[in-house]
Amino acid sequence: MSVFGIPNVSPALEQDLADGLVKVEELLNSHIKGSYPLVEETSHHLVAAGGKRLRPLLTLISSHLGDSSRYGVIEAAVVCELTHLATLYHDDVMDEALLRRGVESANSRWGNTVAILTGDYLFAKVSNLLADLGPEAVRLQARTFERLVIGQIMETQGPAAGQDPLAHYLQVVADKTASLISTSARFGALLAGASAQIVETVTTFGEEIGIAFQLADDVIDIVSESGLSGKTPGTDLREGVPTLVTLNVMKSTNPADRELQALLQAPIESETVVAEVLVALRAHPALDESRVQLLQVAQKARLALGPLPICDATAALFSLCETVIDRSH
């Protein structure tokens, strides 16, 4: 297992990725510096809190399908991570979150106005980096940002009358989560000068693996033991957030599920009830159904990689599919 949590990464590629991520961290920290101390403090808040750095890692892996040393690869990786961080500041305001990545959220510490403006500041820093990467990169980022916003609005509004809630949810996941992961992969191949076929291939892969990551998180929220996964089980239940597992329960026509369905229609405040619902969900057929759906998406991601050349980077992308599946067990 590599230091990135991806199995079977070649030693040479692992070292290149590690070196690349060091450069990403250096640029990430230096680029968000500003002339106003409070802005610098708030913008560094979530950078310093860490995170998986999945998006820049995917940019770096995809860049090895071309010339990974070309200018723009590291910058694009930072663009993707800064975009992700900016959305987290805004998400926490909308969710009234108290914590993010194990630390006090920016909105909790400095208030909603400062948190929102910090997210805006990071988007401004993203634009500054993009200006040197050319119009194609700017256009790609704009289209990605459009999908991020639409996904958030769709989640806020909920499904339309008569719309299948599960289909609505999967579209939200595609726009709100998978779009930026897909763009991260595309940036890496594009700026490394890879062929058009490779660029399109990793873009499709990124979309599918991005959806799979979110669906795996949905399963993890139910099955994880506290402290082992880095996520407190039942978080989505407490917030009343629909997930793949709960939506599969909600579509059940079994009369025995009516009590559970009633509990899932609103945030659950009682920790006792959360524990009881977790026990019920872990024993419910919806959990296995959700795992099957996750496997199907991960398989689509694998199949998308078919046109890629046989190389260390392709092998790492295949291994990433296995990592997603393993996370949910």
260, 277 in Cβ contact below 8 A? yes
What count of residues does the chain have?
A: 329
Least confident of 106-115, 220-229, 309-318: 220-229
Query: Could you please report the per-residue DSSP string of 252-281?
Result: ---GGGHHHHHHTTS----HHHHHHHHHHH
Range of the domain at 32: 11-327
| Mean pLDDT over the full length of the chain | 92
- Give domain status of residue 114, yes or no: yes
The predicted pLDDT at position 231 comes to 62
pLDDT digits (tens, 9 = 90+) for 80-110: 999 999 998 888 888 776 767 667 888 888 8
C-alpha 23: how far from chain center: 21
Distance between CA atoms of residues 74 and 67, nearest Å: 12
pLDDT digits (tens, 9 = 90+) for 165-175: 999 999 999 99
Query: Could you please report the per-residue DSSP string of 74-88?
Result: HHHHHHHHHHHHHHH
Which residues, other chains included, contact 164 with Cβ-Cβ below 8 Å and sequence gap of 6+?
Answer: none
Least Cα distance to 130 among 199, 181, 83 occurs for 83
Residue 329 clears pLDDT 90, i.e. is over it: no
CATH number (domain holding residue 66):
1.10.600.10
Total tally of structural domains belonging to the chain? 1
The better pLDDT of the pair 287, 234 is held by 287
Measured CA to CA in angstroms, residue 104 lies from 49, 211, 241, 259 at distances of: 10, 28, 21, 35
Which residues, other chains included, contact 261 with Cβ-Cβ below 8 Å and sequence gap of 6+?
Answer: 249, 250, 252
Q: Residue range 225-245: average pLDDT?
A: 78
Instruction: Name the band, by pLDDT with cuts 50, 70 and 90, for residue 5.
Output: confident
Query: Could you please report the per-residue DSSP string of 141-179?
Result: HHHHHHHHHHHHHHHHH-PPTT--HHHHHHHHHIIIIIH
The predicted pLDDT at position 49 comes to 81
The predicted pLDDT at position 217 comes to 92
Residue 227 clears pLDDT 70, i.e. is over it: no
The better pLDDT of the pair 249, 1 is held by 249
Instruction: Name the band, by pLDDT with cuts 50, 70 and 90, for residue 250.
Output: very high
- DSSP letter assigned to residue 100: E
- Give domain status of residue 102, yes or no: yes
- Give domain status of residue 1, yes or no: no
Distance between CA atoms of residues 200 and 76, nearest Å: 17
- Give domain status of residue 318, yes or no: yes
- Give domain status of residue 2, yes or no: no
Residue 229 clears pLDDT 50, i.e. is over it: no
